[in-house]
Structure 1
Amino acid sequence: LNSINNVVDVTNYILMELGQPLHAFDAKTIDGRMIIVGNAQKGEEFTTLDGSQIKLSDEELMIRDQKKSVALAGVMGGENSGVSESTTELFIESAYFLPESVRRASRKFGIESDSSYRFSRGIDPEGVEYALQRACALIQQVAGGEVCADHYDEYPQPIQREPIYISKDFIEQKLGYGVDSSSFEDWMKRLGCHILGDAARWEVTPPKYRWDLFYDVDLIEEYARLNGYENIPETTPLMNYQPTAHFDFYDKSRVLISSAVTQGFYQAMNYHFVSSHWQSEFLGDSSKLSGNGVLTASEGITLKNPLNEDLDVMRTSLLPGLFKNILHNSRHNMSKGALFEQGVVFEKKESFVEHHRLSLALWGSSRELWQKDETPAVLRLKSALENILRRLGCQKWQWRKVEGHLTPDFLHLGQFAQLFLEGKPVGYVGSLHPAYKAKYKLREDVALGDFDSEALLKNYPRKFKFSPLSKFPAVERDLAFLLPHQMEAGEVIKVIEKVSPLVQSVAVFDVFSGSGVADGMSSVAFKIKIQDDTKTLEEDFLTGLQKQIIAEVERRLSVKVRGE
């Protein structure tokens, strides 16, 4: 504290000695020799002792005379009534102000004083009168003069402390060790508390000057401090705790994540909150997505208190976030990459529902310098997903094309297919629509996929049955069929697989349209792997099986083998 003059020094001394803030006014500056405590006038300007000029509202409590404000109650006095070298008469204020009122005014105007610091934390209302008498005695001692009149005391409703209820069990629960009842009662009495009851339920009323004792835990803190922290016994805590494993889906999802990483994808983790504008702008017409395994909800769940306007709904799809990741990477010269996110999307039905989804995103060229042709991104993503399915033990999945009017707005009409497991749609893959590439200035080829994680993991872990490696070689035969553009290659594969149990696998390895192929038709070539674990297959048998396959495909699908 800085020494200003003997009067102010006395008030500061009392503050340090008794914790009671005081303020001394030059009595000759008090108009009408009268003090009024009340709210300020709205728009009133006031200059404090430190020279700060503040504009008041009608919420601030002020000390006023008949004409003007002379102090901001509990915070600082006014420049217009301060004690100076010419002061011959004093008016001394000793008061109690509500802590919240002083704290609010101090923070509003940014004025921190020793007075506001004490008032905002609570003082002893019973010590106000004694502090005033002590100050008057000291001023007489150091400055002379006399007390002209008795003090004025306005205390219509004495403040009463509410009792605090506490039990021995609660104290022991918080401290973690046994407590002696008589010791607790003794320490509370030494603090000046009035205590009634017994260990089952004590009623403790703190003294009025201990405003820091307000809750039951405050009493526990004081007891531990007074009893000595060094006396707290060292005990091993007993916990009634049974370790629990992660829920089943969590463990399975780790395999899903590991499988995606194995395929060269990097994991992305986006907010569960998204911009409603961005989500609707990217997804487009949600009616095309609802109910077919592509999207779980048509509208996002609006947040009552969003973090900001760009995070105002819960996401209904992982793809808007992944696509934003693609844009960010592309604009930072990442011309190719692969991302995935395993997370939840949200739907509001009778209650709020979470759905676990896996989304994949792949962009850029895969062609190396020594390669002639480039594999489209959508086929690379499809291949990666199939490898993930194999890792998860999924069997006999199917890809089905979707009618154009059901294709999501953000995907290419001719490059979109749904994945089916056990006859149910579980997701899709597709190429980004050219209009989106143009709109967001993307040069790279982009493929996207979204899948129901729980459906993919339904049969994991699958029990594998060991089969020894065959001693006899496998044989491959290539067949090309002329198929209409609208026919799916998967239909041919299903027919071939049913011809003989010796057919191990069927895969498309070439598609050709052009010279020598009729309009509206494509030449689709299939590689067929044939193997018998009991013997070596002879040429005559293979020729007969090949003819059988051709005949069955032509009969079932009304198509022709190329070359006939």
Structure 2
Amino acid sequence: MLISFDWLKQLIHTDKTAEEVGALLTGAGLEVESLHVQEAVKGGLEGIVIGEVLTCERHPDADRLSVTTVDIGTGEPSHIVCGAPNVAAGQKVVVATVNSTLYPTGGEPFKIKKSKIRGAVSEGMICAEDEIGVGTSHAGIMVLDTDLPNGTPAAEYFGLSSDTVFEIGLTPNRADAASHLGVARDLKALLRVPYTLPSVEDFKVNNTSCPIEVVVENIEGCPRYAGVTVSGVKVGPSPEWLQKRLRAIGLSPINNIVDVTNFVLHELGQPLHAFDTDKITGNKIVVRNLAEGTPFVTLDGVERKLRATDLMICNAQEPMAIAGVFGGKASGVSEATTSIFIESAYFSPDTVRRTGQVHGLKTDASFRFERGTDPNMVLFALKRAALLVQEVAGGEVSSEIVDVYPYPVQNQELTLSIDRAHMLIGQYIGAERIKTILTDLGIQITGETETHLNLSVPPFKVDVQREADVVEEILRIYGFNNIEMSEDLATTYLAKFPNPDPEHITRTVLDYIAANGFHEIITNSITDSKYYTLAGEEAQASLVRVLNYNSEDLDTLRGNMIFSGLEVLRRNINRRQRDLKLFELGRVYAQQPDGKYKESTRLAFFMTGNRSAESWNEASSKVAFHDLAGVVQNVLIKLNAGEWTVQPLEASNLMRQGIAYLKNDTVVAQIGVVEQQVARALEVKEQVWYAELNWDYLLKKYRSSLVAEELPKFPEVRRDLSLVLDRNITFDQLKQVAFRTERKLLQDVNVFDVYEGDKIEAGKKAYALSFTLLDRQQTLTDKVIDSIMNRLMQQFEKQLGAVIRK
């Protein structure tokens, strides 16, 4: 569940940071699994400020350029060369300062650098709206009408403040917290400040020209059903504020009517549905069950066969929606809709859960209904939605509110023993603290004695059914961390969580490498400094030299693992042992620019010769890049090092044709071919594949916890794609584009064929890729799969210049 911090602060005031609020919520049982910043525009306009053009003169060597000085609030004017025809002295403008990064509309990001343009110094850039991503116009620079001081961040001028979004792992028992209001309730108790509900006092019935009759035949499945009609609406895009709220929590805006229902659901926790009143035959809604096997087409265009137990929302003749789960295609809101009936109801959790499981449907509405919503929120949410619809789509309330609620849901009456509460808590906190917490959580105290409290628990507290549940509510607000350990508590009651043992981790990984056919070598860490003339000046400058060496061949501590490994290869090859797979865990040494010395551990691999010995039933083949890369990747996985990125190996005197693995901008592993001149200098004529891992860093990042997840209930789908690209495009670039394009359903990307030859254009190569798609909530449809594949193909063409082979 995603919760917007800005949205939350509309309900409850707090001066605490998002991180502090996240820690409070986690301590109270709403575990904040992650925090991420939602930027109004990419980059958040960081480094972009308001400036004032002080002078503007034509460039002496370019008719279309102007040389300006601009005050950006730093004290010294900045010299900026500008190509816009409308730049002039006295203007307030938007300036991208040196080292800022621009994210233009429809273009690639680029960094602003201090430069010379036709001989004139330029210390920034005066921007058009498309260049900073706030619009599409490129007719000229933006000229602002503002009194803001020079140097003011442009984000402040445009009102583009970023939002922090909490990702909360909502447990099944916390149905009451499945909304911004639900989270605000907990914060009220944690912070001891009130929350404020949005006002619905302005709700009024304008006329009764469009009444809708409601009949509930299945009261058990639908204890409460309410609705109201709004006529004269104009369906269209939502205003920016509403779209921003929905995007912050991962929802795509659809239209102003649907967006309002989604907004109220996530604000108050009450699901709503809007029907086109022209589709409500007979101006009548009937909540009932239909015959087994009745066909019904849902909003996704799929025809489903209904069960007799499915609760349906029908008009006088036909079904319009599956109650609490999914709307129907025929009755949904469209651009032609001018009048709507807003449904706000309380459906039985058992009914909704059973229907959702039978049809394999999971929606935001069913998620809440099947856990239990608040029947007392039905009318408030309905009025809130009607007012918002009028605000964003116009129209008038054209019927009285219909509210069918024959048997109101009562509060749960409980008795709490104060002594037992303290016993279960494990610590005395006092009756007054208990009462404060309960009232802050909305639980009423209807009576009390010295030993007991009589409580009335509102229906939104679905999980509070007994005394122990009340104590749990008290304890999570009081704080589990505030419960002191007893002095006589035996340590045998505590589970052991030993720190990872570096020796054990190292032995486990080395055993794995050996099990894959590699032989461990141990070489001398003192070596010949002459080798490092092959490594370049920087490597020679960082050598740690031995002052009292006994041999000229052993006069320095090794700076890398390559040369000592090549010596072992040479010795074995000279004795006709040509197919070699070796590894070594050893120390390397370096002298830093400040004169201090650094010692670190590296894990090195060497491969040369054939993959396997000659055999009558299998042809011999030389070892290749992927033979070594597969082992290195498995070592990284075994270390549970998390995600890493791959990039081409930087040019080096020692290695070529390889890749580097990076984590947090630190190189954790490198794979490549040892340069031929380096190998030959040590009398090794065969091609040698080499890999080196930053062992100290990997041990530091080692995570012992294993991630387990439930097996998917729905099948995964594979789709293949063939495309032709420039030869320098890597598979990792393709993979990054794919996962940026489809974050939710794409599980894996694999390349199963690569072709370079005379059948395609020179300088090109062909990739055959497979894509694995999986939705853990429902079976993927061809429509969804085709949409994803089309988007992937478009992005490959746009970002990488790929040609799709069809």
Using structure 2 for the length normalisation, give the TM-score.
Answer: 0.35
Using structure 1 for the length normalisation, give the TM-score.
Answer: 0.49
Query: Could you say which structure has the larger radius of gyration?
Result: 1
